[in-house]
Structure 1
Amino acid sequence: MEPESVAGAVRVSEPVATRRHYLMCRPEHFAVTYAINPWMDPGAGADAARAVRQWESLRETYVALGHEVSLIDPVEGLPDMVFAANGALVVNGRAYGARFAHPERAAEGPAYAAWLRANGFSEVLEAERTNEGEGDFLVLDELILGGTGFRTELAAHQEAQEFFGRPVVTLRLVDPRFYHLDTALFPLGGDNVAYYPEAFSPGSRAVLERLFPDAVIADARDAGVLGLNAVCDGRHVVINAEATGLMKGLRERGYEPVPVDLSELRKAGGGPKCCTLELRGAPSV
Structure 2
Amino acid sequence: MAASTREADPPGVTAASADGGVKSLRDKMQEKTARLRNCLKQDQDRKKNEEDATTERWTGLRITDRCVRQEKWDASVRGKERVLLSRLSLLSQQGTDQVVVGVLCSPPAMPKMNHRSELCAEWTLTDLDKERPCEATVVLVGRAVEHWASQDGPGRPHAKVGSIIAVLNPKATGKSSAMLASMETQVIKLGMCPSLGFCSVLIHTGRCGAACHSEGSGYCERHSNQSHWARQAELSDPRSAARKRKPGCEASTSTPATSPWLGRLPSATSASSSSQPVK
TM-score relative to the length of structure 2: 0.25
TM-score relative to the length of structure 1: 0.25
Higher RCO structure, 1 or 2 (CA under 8 Å, sep 6+): 1
Computing the radius of gyration from Cα coordinates, the structure with the larger value is: 2
